[in-house]
């Protein structure tokens, strides 16, 4: 059953494979399609890919009283309960990492491991700030333009680009905008000491966000990798390396048990 009711919201979920569960958390507006190539991991693990509420094929969130990131964390923990999962590996991409890290802060007992692909604990570099501010501007002005730019940047395959584009067009612009607002304001630098489970952080070596890695490398016991000659769009443009790093991380830390 691809749809599940959580927090009075109907979420669309892809759930494939067996073994240790990995839940994939997409960036603002993109939806689960960005993890198309990570479905290969279902040959070894249980791969769970939701459209977060307000994105893709999921309904809009029923409430955001305590903020969208907290709402997403609450939806996810209820989803785990519905699926009968006690602990999960969180695998996020870009600002989907804000959802993953918010979940870690609120429900640390449900976390088995954390994977950040282009993740950050705070927006404090000029390129990342401008990326958020431009996103906020154009999402209000022309969500279709943003969808085109982002989908084009993530693949050279015309059919897959169109699939990403059509999926992104389903996102609620207001939810998308709020996601960016909260991601822009996100700052858990002083809470990172609470992260006690294995962490994998991977970055494209040619993307400025790599300056954030030291937060995970210096303050935590983390595996940090830079993918040579790559930018930010790792799950689609560098998916083979990403999948290998995820697999190696899980076996290295015995998370498959």
Residue 127 is inside which H or E element, if any?
helix 126-141
3-class state of residue 142 by DSSP: coil
Percent of the chain whose pLDDT exceeds 90? 76
pTM above 0.85, yes or no: yes
DSSP 60: P
pLDDT in tens, 95-138: 999 999 999 999 999 999 999 999 999 988 887 888 888 888 88
pLDDT in tens, 10-31: 999 999 999 999 999 999 999 9
**Distance, CA of 196 to CA of 180 (rounded, Å):** 27
Residue among 191, 180, 196, 189 at smallest CA distance from 68:
180
pLDDT in tens, 201-220: 999 988 766 566 666 666 56
Whether 103 and 90 have beta carbons less than 8 Å apart is answered as: yes
pLDDT in tens, 64-95: 677 999 999 999 999 999 999 999 999 999 99
| Residue 184 pLDDT grade (very low, low, confident, very high; cuts 50, 70, 90) | very high
**Distance, CA of 22 to CA of 135 (rounded, Å):** 28
Q: Could you tell me which residue, 126 or 252, shows the higher pLDDT?
A: 252
DSSP state string for 160-179: HHHHHHHHHTTS-HHHHHHH
Q: Could you tell me which residue, 240 or 257, shows the higher pLDDT?
A: 240
């Amino acid at each position: 059953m691809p749809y599940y009711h959580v927090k009075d919201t109907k979420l669309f979920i892809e759930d494939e494979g067996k073994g240790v569960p990995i839940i994939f958390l997409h960036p603002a507006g993109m939806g689960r399609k960005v993890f198309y190539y990570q479905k290969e991991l279902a040959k070894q693990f249980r791969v769970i890919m939701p459209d977060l509420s307000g994105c893709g094929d999921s309904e809009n969130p029923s409430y955001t009283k305590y903020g969208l990131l907290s709402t997403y964390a609450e939806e996810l923990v209820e989803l785990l309960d519905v699926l009968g999962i006690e602990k999960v590996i969180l695998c996020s991409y870009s600002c989907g990492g804000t959802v993953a890290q918010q979940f870690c802060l609120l429900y640390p007992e449900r976390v088995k491991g954390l994977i950040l692909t282009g993740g950050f604990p705070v927006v404090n570099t000029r390129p990342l700030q401008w990326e958020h501010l431009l996103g906020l501007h154009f999402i209000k002005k022309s969500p279709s333009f943003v969808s085109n730019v982002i989908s084009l940047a993530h693949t050279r395959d015309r059919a897959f680009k169109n699939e990403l584009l059509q999926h992104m067009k389903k996102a609620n612009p207001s939810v998308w905008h709020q996601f960016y607002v909260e991601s822009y304001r996100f700052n858990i630098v002083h809470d990172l000491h609470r992260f006690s489970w294995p962490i994998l952080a991977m970055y494209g070596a040619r993307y400025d966000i790599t300056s954030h890695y030291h937060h995970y490398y210096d303050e935590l016991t983390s595996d940090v990798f830079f993918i040579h000659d790559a930018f930010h769009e790792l799950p689609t443009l560098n998916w083979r390396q990403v999948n290998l790093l995820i697999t190696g991380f899980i076996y290295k830390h015995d998370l498959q048990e």
